[in-house]
């Protein structure tokens, strides 16, 4: 790539200090169990939607936690809401409600 001295794409790193934590706050208030996630990936592994397309539910709720919720808006729409993810989560995260809550946050915060 030619170096123009500036970049059109966002930073590749998570800039935690400039993160957008409004989603986290709202989603967490709607589904507190999101804090229990240990990132095991079972939810993504079992996911019905992930069987057909590039969709990673674990990543979606992780990026919210990291203050980088940009990508979730387009991604979340792929969820079929089947609830398999919730059935395998070893931490008892209420994933279906978490997904609802994330949808809600998108609705409210844009």
Q: Contact at 8 Å (CB) between 104 and 26? A: yes
Please pick, from the candidates 21, 22, 42, 73, the single residue that binds ligand SF4 as defined by CB under 6 A.
42
Q: Which two tokens stand for residue 83?
A: 């609830």
Strands (E), 18-110: none
- 42 part of the interface to other proteins, by CB under 8 A: yes
Q: Contact at 8 Å (CB) between 88 and 43? A: yes
- 51 part of the interface to ligand SF4, by CB under 6 A: no
Q: CA-CA distance, 2 to 12, in Å (whole number)?
A: 17
| CB closer to ligand SF4, 22 vs 91 | 91
- 23 part of the interface to other proteins, by CB under 8 A: no
Contacts of 100 (CB under 8 A, 6+ apart): 30, 31
With contacts defined by CB under 8 A, name the span among 4-12, 14-22, 64-72, 83-91 that binds other proteins: 83-91
- 107 part of the interface to other proteins, by CB under 8 A: yes
Out of ligand SF4, other proteins, none, what residue 68 binds, judged by CB under 5 to 8 A for its kind, is none
Closest CA to 92 of 40, 8, 36: 36
Q: Which positions lie near ligand SF4, rule CB under 6 A? A: 37-43, 46-49, 57-58, 79-85, 89-91, 93, 95-96, 99
């Amino acid at each position: 790539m030619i170096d123009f001295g500036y970049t059109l794409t966002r930073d590749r790193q998570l800039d935690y200090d400039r993160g957008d934590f409004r989603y986290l706050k709202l989603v967490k208030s709607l589904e507190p169990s999101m804090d229990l996630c240990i990132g095991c990936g079972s939810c993504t592994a079992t996911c019905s939607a992930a069987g057909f397309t590039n969709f990673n539910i674990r990543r979606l709720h992780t990026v919210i936690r990291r203050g980088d919720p940009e990508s979730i808006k387009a991604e979340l729409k792929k969820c079929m809401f089947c609830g398999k993810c919730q059935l395998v989560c070893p931490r008892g995260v209420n994933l279906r409600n978490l997904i609802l809550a994330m949808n809600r946050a998108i609705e409210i915060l844009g």
